[in-house]
Amino acid sequence: MRLLEPACGHGAFLVAAVDRLLTATLRDGIPVRDLTRAIQAYDIEKEHVWASRAAVIERLGACQIPLRLAEELAGGWVRHGDFLLANLETTFDAVVGNPPYIRIEQLSARLQSEYRGRFRTLYDRADLYVAFIEKGLHLLAPRGVLAFICADRWTLNKYGAPLRSLIAREFKMRTYLDLHRASPFESEVIAYPSIFAIGRERLDNAVLVGSLATASREEILAVRSVLKAGPAADSGLLLRKHETWFSGDAPWVLSSSEQLAQLRSLEARFPLLEADGQTVVRIGVATGRDAAFIVPTTADIESDRMVPLVMREDLQHGGIRAGQRCVLDTSRPGGGPVDLRDYPRLAAYLESHREHLLKRHVAKKNAAHWYKTIDRVYPEIVSKPKLLIPDIAGANEVVYDEGGYYPHHNLYFILSDRWDLEVLGGLLSSRVALFFVWSYAVKMRGGYLRFQAQYLRRIRVPKPESMPERLCDAIREAFRGRDFKRLDDLAVEAYGLSSLPDFDFSDSRK
């Protein structure tokens, strides 16, 4: 693999790259003299080139590399020259660095026009780092990644527009870390730094976005472990997933530092929804074949095997439109499949679906389970009061079921022995609760959010006993009346805020 550092200065990144390269080659028994093409670094200042070469030679020497070879490698790796004008005839798997911040007006007219002629993104009063990003991206190998630490003005302003649209058209954003609050530099060099990684291909279907509070070693290690764990990892509180990135030259408006400060303050002051040990967030039943396991209430099957089901489409205007369907309960109380000899009508019905049921993964894993739903049905849940929440939605749509249904897989539900569920439902219907989900959850095209269990569990709520009865009564009443404006005001009071969190999500409720 080949790494490019286009503006290496005194070698902070370069030396770290050399270290890793040496560790890997010594471990794998690769001769060090074969590494001449592994690294390419540039700097326009002679002194910086010398400083970087010296740092590299010292590091190679520390690994017992003979001085002659070390000098040769360092001389080949670190070049003196203008990266923006250099002819590089190869591509790179990694482009890493901290490009210079130079206002273009500070350059000579000749150089300005030379650069403008070469780089389409040097638009308006663009800073020179914009050209470093453009050139770095075009030097990426097919699976290469560019990661820079850099001022972030271009992500929002006018001069960044052509670069943003180049990225939208030809590249894939992977990670974006805002460093507004943290200052990782030895001196205060830039006001608004960020770290971003952009590839030619996307690894995951989401861009990970975060904000470092301190850029302390601990924080960076924590973020790194999430990034290294790969696409499926739960990004925890550190990083949010954006399912889509911005298109065209749209400015990259991410959570602002004020929003993050508000989120962190709520996180510090209130416990998680499930922290009381008596409130749980669950997902409804997955059957593996709804066409077989979901039946009309009139089906000719033993009634104790039929459990009234509520599905997403049954939720309307805050109520449940009596769904005339049931899910089949195919389990014994202990968990195994029921004995079909005890249920001849169920047996006859399932037999008529045998062919399809056998094709399911659960059936292949255990032949005796061919007629079992993937998830077990717990009929005792039907009569419990619960809150129902659809997954993908344009708002936090929370519906109270006083105890009549079993939720289907496209619904999440909340049970609690601690809360008056209509009061909790009112809080969860507010824009304060929505703010948590909006902050953490994957944002989908078309203004939808995912309200999956992992995000719902991160909602913080006041302790019920800390809420005055008058407030609880008002919330319950507003929840019943679907008075969302009033619920927002009451949530502001319950959370002790001065105003609602300000975030850009126009929810779809009427």
Ligand X SMILES: C[S@@+](CC[C@H](N)C(=O)[O-])C[C@H]1O[C@@H](n2cnc3c(N)ncnc32)[C@H](O)[C@@H]1O
The residues binding ligand X (CB under 6 A) are 7-13, 42-45, 48, 82-84, 97-98, 100
> Smallest gap, in angstroms, from Cβ of residue 100 to ligand X?
4
100 or 318: CB nearest ligand X: 100
Distance between CA 140 and CA 94 in Å, rounded? Answer: 7
99 or 210: CB nearest ligand X: 99
212 or 328: CB nearest ligand X: 212
11 or 144: CB nearest ligand X: 11
Residue 452 in contact with residue 412, Cβ under 8 Å? yes
327 closest CA partner among 275, 290, 370: 290
How many helices (H) and strands (E) would you count in the chain? 17, 22
DSSP assigned state of 441: S
> Smallest gap, in angstroms, from Cβ of residue 280 to ligand X?
49
> Smallest gap, in angstroms, from Cβ of residue 129 to ligand X?
9
Distance between CA 299 and CA 306 in Å, rounded? Answer: 9
82 or 313: CB nearest ligand X: 82
Residue 273 in contact with residue 287, Cβ under 8 Å? no
99 or 288: CB nearest ligand X: 99
Q: What would you measure as the largest C-alpha separation in the chain, in angstroms?
A: 91
Phi then psi for residue 146, to 5 deg, are: -105, 130
DSSP assigned state of 144: E
Q: In what order do the strands lie in the sheet with 386-390?
A: 279-283, 411-416, 386-390, 399-401
42 or 196: CB nearest ligand X: 42
CB burial of residue 277 (10 Å; 0-12, 13-18, 19+): exposed
100 or 404: CB nearest ligand X: 100
Residue 330 in contact with residue 337, Cβ under 8 Å? yes
> Smallest gap, in angstroms, from Cβ of residue 16 to ligand X?
9
53 or 458: CB nearest ligand X: 53
CA angle 178, 181, 182 (to 5 degrees): 85
> Smallest gap, in angstroms, from Cβ of residue 80 to ligand X?
9
The residues that bridge with 96 in the sheet, in sequence order, are 147
> Smallest gap, in angstroms, from Cβ of residue 101 to ligand X?
7
> Smallest gap, in angstroms, from Cβ of residue 74 to ligand X?
15
Amino acid in the structure at residue 107: L
> Smallest gap, in angstroms, from Cβ of residue 211 to ligand X?
22
> Smallest gap, in angstroms, from Cβ of residue 180 to ligand X?
18
84 or 491: CB nearest ligand X: 84
Q: What is the dihedral of CA 352, 337, 357, 350, to 10 degrees?
A: 10
> Smallest gap, in angstroms, from Cβ of residue 117 to ligand X?
15
> Smallest gap, in angstroms, from Cβ of residue 138 to ligand X?
16
Residue 400 in contact with residue 425, Cβ under 8 Å? yes
- Which residue's Cβ has the minimum distance to ligand X? 9
Residue 386 in contact with residue 401, Cβ under 8 Å? yes
100 or 308: CB nearest ligand X: 100
Residue 41's contacts (CB-CB under 8 Å, 6 or more residues apart) are: 4, 5, 6, 8, 11, 14, 52, 77, 78, 79
End-to-end C-alpha distance for the chain, whole angstroms: 55
Distance between CA 165 and CA 123 in Å, rounded? Answer: 12
Distance between CA 142 and CA 1 in Å, rounded? Answer: 12
Q: Which residues of 489-506 are buried (b: 16+ CB within 10 A; e: fewer)?
A: bbbbebbeeeebbebebe
197 or 254: CB nearest ligand X: 197
> Smallest gap, in angstroms, from Cβ of residue 19 to ligand X?
14
HSE-up of 49 (CA within 13 Å, CB side)?
18
